[in-house]
């Protein structure tokens, strides 16, 4: 199957964003359980970058879905939504391109 370069790029950007969402969630758990310390400059810089990249997409979901038992499930909801968008793009992308 021949895949369009534009379709490939769209799918890879979504894959990278999912990776960043997972990295942000893992880092937040590590900070919450005092495994890593945000006073470390590298940890702080990575955390700030991940927060600035992921927060604009997570904020609207957090407004609709509150914390459940103190657990933020907005990254899971966003990842599922991104996987759905990937499948939708693949399904409706013209095969002649």
Contact 29, 55 (CB under 8 A): no
In which domain, by residue range, is 58 found? 5-92
85 pLDDT exceeds 80?
A: yes
13-59 residue pLDDT tens: 999 999 999 999 999 999 999 999 999 999 999 999 999 999 999 99
67 pLDDT exceeds 90?
A: no
Q: Is residue 97 part of a domain?
A: no
Contact 6, 97 (CB under 8 A): yes
3 pLDDT exceeds 90?
A: no
Q: Is residue 86 part of a domain?
A: yes
Q: Is residue 17 part of a domain?
A: yes
Mean pLDDT across 77-88: 97
- Within 13 Å and on the Cβ side, how many CA atoms surround 71? 5
Question: For the chain, how many structural domains are there in total?
Answer: 1
Q: Is residue 56 part of a domain?
A: yes
Q: Which residues contact 17 (CB under 8 A, 6 or more apart)?
A: 53, 57, 82
What's the pTM value of the predicted model, to 2 decimals?
0.90
């Amino acid at each position: 199957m021949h895949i369009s370069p534009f379709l490939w790029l769209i799918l890879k950007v979504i894959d990278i964003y999912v990776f960043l969402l997972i990295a942000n969630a893992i880092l937040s758990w590590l900070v919450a359980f005092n495994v890593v310390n945000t006073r470390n400059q590298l940890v702080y810089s990575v955390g700030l970058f991940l927060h600035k990249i992921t927060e604009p997409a997570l904020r609207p979901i957090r407004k609709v879905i509150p914390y459940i038992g103190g657990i933020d499930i907005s990254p899971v909801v966003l990842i599922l939504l991104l996987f759905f968008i990937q499948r939708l793009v693949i399904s409706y992308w013209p095969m002649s391109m």
